[in-house]
Amino acid sequence: MDILSPIKDHHSERRLFMGRVILASSAGFLLLAVVIARLVQLQVFDYEFFAAQSQGNRFRIEPVPPIRGLVFDRKGRVLAENLPAYQLELIPEQVDDLDDTLQRLAALALIDAEDIARLKDLSESGPRFKPVTLKLRLSEEEIANFAIQRPRFPGVDFQPRLIRHYPYGEAVAHAVGYVGALSKNDLTRLDASQYAGTAHTGKTGVESRFELNLHGDVGYHNVVTNALGRQIPAESPEMLDSLPSDVTPVPGDNVYLTIDLDLQQVATRALEGRRGAVVAIDPWSGDILALVSAPTFDPNLFAVGMTQSEYGELQNNLNRPLFNRAIRGEYPPGSTIKPMLSIAALETGATNLTRKTMCRGYFTLPNSTHRYRDWKPEGHGEVDLHEAISQSCDVYFYEISVDVGIDNMHDYLDRFGLGHVTGVDIGGENSGLLPSREWKRNYFREPADQRWFHGETVIASIGQGYMLATPLQLASAVAAVATRGSRFKPHLVAATENTLTGKRELINPQRVDEIVLSDDRHWDSVIDAMHEVMHGLRGTARAASLNAEYEMAGKSGTAQVFSVAQEDEYDEDQIEEKLRDHALFVAFAPLDAPRIAVAVIVENGSSGSRVAAPIARQVMDQYLGYGADASQ
């Protein structure tokens, strides 16, 4: 009979239990040791790191945008300033029904209905506790209307801000430029960290080109926040003391321009109702005294914000008010290049002071029946170089152009700055076009189109054909004639000024390649003929100099917009306005000691001497102290 095994082995169970207890206890002590070690690590060794992290969660750095620098004219008059204004803001988390709120604000005409979708997207795209700007500038009437309705709009209020303002608006729009809302493209070319808290940046003109000077350096303000990132008041003086130091923003530099406001306004009024441009330069420094493009626009519209329809209307205007004709407009220069071409002809021996041409009202190339017509159908009779300039005889220049040749013509006109940018210190300048054989070979693809024809040289001699120039280039070119070859780069900015120290940094005139002639008497011959244009008995612009108290030199020009057939006559009264010739004029004064050089273009103005020359006279009168509203 087998011996029965015991039901329980108490000894084995006790030993197993004790083993488990020891194992569990060891694991518990090990885990406790790890926890204690981690606490020591966090609270002793990593204390400073996590204390800093805690402070970062406790405080938030808010950017403080700098005050934008001011823009002044050459006499210290403010052209761009900052004015206090109230803007309408909305805090999304405090608005129960965003759609309803925006609709009711539109009904009160506080925002535009077409902006509702954009403002809604803007409100929903960022932190709900961050204010969203609904309108940049409120009028006093709008503030009063909203103040009455404020209880109906929780989360909406108006706040004081600084807004860019242009006191002289349209008169300086194309020179000073304007500021507009920051875009993604702007932030790719700018230092984004410097634009934290800034809503605007320069878009055109001096405002854009000198943005880094005008903007200044951003500052920072530290505030106490809760766990959700919302600002809360400091609970104690100790908390205030623990706030990191604020960084004071550095205001932008002031910018002083070479522009004369009085001259700018006179030129603007002279072009009123027309399309065109006026550029006036100091020949001995390159200072741009006036830069006007017409029609113009009010830059304040961009500073306070426009609706999409308002901007579309401005952009789609057929008269192109946003287009800066003074530096971007490219026009056939017409007869305004004749003084410069005369220099080329004298220097190359293609003509001299005694050579005469019989002008019968047209010119033909050898072995050709095509007639290149003079502006005067009956012709000028026998003329020399002096008379050809003063009476603007096309036939004389047709004839000598064959001897000068297109490449010599290109090389000499290039010395006067035509065909390439002047380097003016605002952006967007166009280069114009100065044709040559090489240019045509590179421009056209087909071999048959690459050949240069004699007829193209003929029409280039009166500033037609492929040739194009900007008003700024023409002003710079006639300034080089006035100084007898001394040339300076045109510029709009004269100095920058540190707003904190008052220290100014002057921008010195920059010389460019001088035009050196083999015989300086060639300058005298051409300038005497330009003087005859204004004061001679048969000068084409003599009417513009009547009763002048100073002597001046000038040259009129007319540029065809479309070609007239050989058998047809140009009849201004029978031609649609947009197809009429452009009117051009260049001049400088006083004759013996030039202080101002001017270029004027009036699109479709028909006659340079009749339409553009009187505008140049008004500008010169004003600057020299003879204008109706000239100020000393």
Q: What is the CATH number of the domain that holds 434?
A: 3.40.710.10
Answer whether residue 547 shows pLDDT above 60: yes
At 632 the pLDDT is 43
pLDDT category of residue 631 using cuts at 50, 70 and 90: very low
Where is average pLDDT lowest: 155-164, 250-259, 413-422? 155-164
Is residue 62 a contact partner of residue 197, using CB atoms and an 8 Å limit?
Answer: yes
Answer whether residue 8 shows pLDDT above 70: no
Exposed/middle/buried for residue 241 (C-beta within 10 Å: 0-12, 13-18, 19+) = exposed
At 302-318, the pLDDT tens digits run: 887 777 777 888 889 99
Average pLDDT over every residue of 194-213: 87
Average pLDDT over every residue of 43-65: 65
Please give the single-letter amino acid code of residue 238. Answer: E
Cα 232 versus chain centre, distance: 43
Where is average pLDDT lowest: 226-230, 499-503, 597-601? 226-230
The structure tokens listed for 609 are 């001497």
Provide the H-helix boundaries in 231-272: 237-242, 261-270
At 18-42, the pLDDT tens digits run: 878 888 888 888 888 888 888 888 7
Average pLDDT over every residue of 412-420: 95
At 483 the pLDDT is 97
Same domain, 410 and 557: yes
> What percent of the chain lies above the pLDDT cut of 90?
56
Same domain, 410 and 526: yes
At 558-583, the pLDDT tens digits run: 987 655 545 555 455 556 767 788 89
Average pLDDT over every residue of 470-487: 97
- If one compares 564 and 428, the residue with the highest pLDDT of the two is 428
134 found inside a domain: yes
Same domain, 303 and 441: yes
Closest CA to 113 of 125, 124, 123, 99: 99
Of 143, 165, 187, the position where a domain reaches its end is 165
Q: What is the pTM of this model?
A: 0.82
Average pLDDT over every residue of 317-334: 94
- Strand 71-72, strand 254-257: pairing: parallel
In whole angstroms, give the CA distance from residue 113 to residue 478.
52
> What percent of the chain lies above the pLDDT cut of 70?
88
In whole angstroms, give the CA distance from residue 474 to residue 551.
20
Number of separate domains in the chain: 2
Where is average pLDDT lowest: 67-71, 349-353, 366-370, 626-630? 626-630
In whole angstroms, give the CA distance from residue 493 to residue 79.
13
Average pLDDT over every residue of 44-63: 63
Could you tell me the CA-to-CA distances from 190 to 65, 118, 200, 218, 583 in Å, in that order?
Answer: 15, 24, 12, 13, 41
439 found inside a domain: yes
At 305 the pLDDT is 75
Where is average pLDDT lowest: 174-188, 267-281, 287-301, 439-453? 174-188
Same domain, 477 and 594: yes
- If one compares 579 and 129, the residue with the highest pLDDT of the two is 579
Answer whether residue 418 shows pLDDT above 60: yes
Where is average pLDDT lowest: 23-37, 268-282, 283-297, 613-627? 23-37
At 629 the pLDDT is 62
Answer whether residue 46 shows pLDDT above 80: no
Answer whether residue 223 shows pLDDT above 80: no
Parent domain of 520? 269-486+516-624
Average pLDDT over every residue of 51-56: 54
Helix (H, G, I), strand (E, B) or coil at 536: coil
- If one compares 491 and 132, the residue with the highest pLDDT of the two is 491
102 found inside a domain: yes
CA 280, 336, 422, 481 torsion: positive or negative? negative
Please give the single-letter amino acid code of residue 51. Answer: A
Could you tell me the CA-to-CA distances from 321 to 131, 161, 328 in Å, in that order?
Answer: 35, 29, 12
Q: What is the CATH number of the domain that holds 124?
A: 3.30.1390.30
Is residue 541 a contact partner of residue 600, using CB atoms and an 8 Å limit?
Answer: no
Helix (H, G, I), strand (E, B) or coil at 190: coil
The structure tokens listed for 442 are 């590179």
Closest CA to 587 of 597, 574, 595: 597
First CA to last CA distance, the chain:
142
Beta bridge partners of residue 457, listed in sequence order: none
* Entry field: residues in the chain: 632
Average pLDDT over every residue of 430-457: 93
Average pLDDT over every residue of 501-524: 94
At 224 the pLDDT is 66
Is residue 184 a contact partner of residue 177, using CB atoms and an 8 Å limit?
Answer: no
Residues 6 or more apart whose CB falls under 8 angstroms from that of 210 comprise 202, 255, 493, 496
Where is average pLDDT lowest: 6-15, 167-176, 305-314, 522-531? 6-15
16 found inside a domain: no
Helix (H, G, I), strand (E, B) or coil at 107: helix
In the 8-state DSSP scheme, what is residue 113? Answer: G
The per-type count for the chain, helices as H runs and strands as E runs, is: 24, 22
Measure the CA angle with vertex 337, ends 336 and 342; round to 5°.
125
Is residue 159 a contact partner of residue 86, using CB atoms and an 8 Å limit?
Answer: yes
Which helix H or strand E contains 559, and what residues bound it? Answer: strand 553-559
**Active-site option among 208, 335, 606, 609:** 335
Of 165, 200, 235, the position where a domain reaches its end is 165
Same domain, 521 and 381: yes
The structure tokens listed for 541 are 């612009």
Answer whether residue 59 shows pLDDT above 70: no
- Strand 596-602, strand 582-589: pairing: antiparallel
362 found inside a domain: yes
9 found inside a domain: no
Answer whether residue 4 shows pLDDT above 70: no
Is residue 428 a contact partner of residue 322, using CB atoms and an 8 Å limit?
Answer: no
At 396 the pLDDT is 95
Average pLDDT over every residue of 259-287: 96
Same domain, 436 and 297: yes
At 585-623, the pLDDT tens digits run: 999 999 999 999 999 999 988 888 899 999 999 999 999
244 found inside a domain: no
Of 165, 186, 206, the position where a domain reaches its end is 165
Residues 6 or more apart whose CB falls under 8 angstroms from that of 205 comprise 173, 174, 175, 176, 177, 178, 324, 426
Instruction: Give yes or no: 335 in active site.
Output: yes
123 found inside a domain: yes
At 475 the pLDDT is 97
In whole angstroms, give the CA distance from residue 325 to residue 186.
24
- If one compares 118 and 569, the residue with the highest pLDDT of the two is 118
At 235 the pLDDT is 55
Where is average pLDDT lowest: 49-53, 151-155, 344-348? 49-53
At 81-94, the pLDDT tens digits run: 998 888 888 878 77
Is residue 165 a contact partner of residue 82, using CB atoms and an 8 Å limit?
Answer: yes
Mean pLDDT of the residues in the chain: 86
Where is average pLDDT lowest: 117-121, 124-128, 590-594? 124-128
